[in-house]
Structure 1
Amino acid sequence: MFDVLLAHIQEKVTLSATDVAVLKSFFIPKKLRKRQYVLQEGDVCKYLLFVEKGLLRMYHVDEKGTEHMIQFAWEGWWMADTYSFLSGDVSEYNIDATEDAELLMITLENFEALLLQAPVMERYFRILFQNNIISKEKRLVNTISYSAEEKYTRMAAANPQLLQRIPQNLIASYLGITPETLSRIRKKLMKSK
């Protein structure tokens, strides 16, 4: 169950056998069925989630009932409402499984203990948090600077395999466009090939 997590960590830092044993002791394995929630708006985000298998989505539902996709996480990705997880305040987001999923979950208390007992993990998470900040800045620039077609082609270039796994209406929501606009863009791009 820890294969993907250990491979992901070892791409960034070197773990000793002791680090691996310590790390495994702090995580809780969890299986989710498609559409099953791991966080609902109004609850506190109690876990930092690592996806071993499957696909998760994080989204906000506005007062009109419209879903706004914030993030997707698939094999080798982390997900949480970071603000709620770190502050203990209630979340404005929902996280559920878009596909059946296998997760490794860690509480804030265990996260802090892990960093103390396996100091190499502090470096690993610093690298992740830096990459996350960069990714969020790029997403902000994409959102305010590019046309709907450019947003879609950039997403397709960055994660082509994901487009096969994520329903079109969720992709449209993530890009901040209507499903109809996404359909027109896809048709136009298919004709130009």
Structure 2
Amino acid sequence: MPNTKYNHLFSIVFLNSISPLSKSLNKYFSKSLVSKRYKKGDYIVKSGEFCDRIHIIRKGLVRGYFDFNNKEITTWVSVDNEMVTSISGYFKQEPAIENIQCLEDTYTESLSYADMHYALENFKEMSRLNRILMEQYYLSAEYRSFMARIPAAKDRYEYFINLVKPEIVERLPKKYLASLLNIRPETLSRLEKKIAEKV
């Protein structure tokens, strides 16, 4: 059980809540994790840059997006107690294909690609933790894939608000929520008004 002698106690407690870790792995994380503060509007990584860290959000709001025909298309959002990285950039060690931007002042603790692989090779329980995290990622990706294929804007909106934490809907600026749902901002406003009238 982690205690206050560790650095980066937030991430250590968070990771242990997913799968119990040994004292030796907790100590390794304590030494390897790096804390960083990002201001609202800052980028954790931009498209074309190398992303060699996976971040645990202590506090903040982050979105992933890509540019297409001079338009920003938001593909996912994450808040406190969630993990973010450029999947293709981090795991393939190639330039990121998306931008990861902080929409609020954001605080993260992150682990490098090299340190993660050292942990996988030297701590047997790291494999279980990694498997659980990958399962969570694939489930999240599947939900987003389902949502993108729902034809009606109303049904996409209802699917989304029933899927995510309520605080994401409350904190996410409307223009990014509309982009995520692939609808016009004015359509989003009408949908929110109709939902509010039913309550």
TM-score (norm 2): 0.89
**TM-fit CA distance, 1:5:** 2.0
The equivalent residue for 1:125 is 130
Judged with a 3 Å threshold, the aligned counterparts in structure 2 of structure 1 residues 174 and 3 are, in CA distance, closer, same or farther, namely farther
The equivalent residue for 2:14 is 8
Q: Distance in 1 between matches of 2:96 and 2:182?
A: 21
**Matched residue of 1:145: which SS?**
coil
Q: Is structure 2 residue 78 aligned with structure 1 residue 93?
A: no
Aligned with residue 178 of structure 1, among 178, 181, 184 = 184
**Matched residue of 1:90: which SS?**
coil
The 8 Å contact of residues 57 and 98 in structure 1, kept in 2 or not, is answered as yes
Q: Distance in 2 between matches of 1:2 and 1:180?
A: 43
Q: Distance in 1 between matches of 2:135 and 2:151?
A: 24
Aligned with residue 58 of structure 1, among 25, 45, 64 = 64
The equivalent residue for 1:17 is 23
**Matched residue of 1:48: which SS?**
strand
The 8 Å contact of residues 33 and 109 in structure 2, kept in 1 or not, is answered as yes
Q: Is structure 2 residue 88 aligned with structure 1 residue 83?
A: yes
Q: Is structure 2 residue 164 aligned with structure 1 residue 188?
A: no
Amino acid at match of 1:149: K
The 8 Å contact of residues 51 and 90 in structure 2, kept in 1 or not, is answered as yes
The equivalent residue for 1:105 is 110
TM-score (norm 1): 0.92
Measured on the aligned residues, the alpha-carbon RMSD in Å equals 1.6
**TM-fit CA distance, 1:116:** 2.4
Instruction: Among all aligned residue pairs of Structure 1 and Structure 2, give the percentage whose two residues are the same amino acid.
Output: 22
> What are the ranges of 5 or more consecutive residues in structure 2 without an aligned counterpart?
1-6
Amino acid at match of 2:38: L
- 1:4-60 Cα shifts (integer Å, max 9, x gaps): 322322222112322211112121111101101110111111211111111111111
Count of residue pairs the alignment pairs up: 192
Q: Distance in 2 between matches of 1:3 and 1:165?
A: 26
> What are the ranges of 5 or more consecutive residues in structure 1 without an aligned counterpart?
none
Q: Distance in 1 between matches of 2:150 and 2:156?
A: 9
Aligned with residue 162 of structure 2, among 157, 163, 168 = 157
**TM-fit CA distance, 1:145:** 2.6
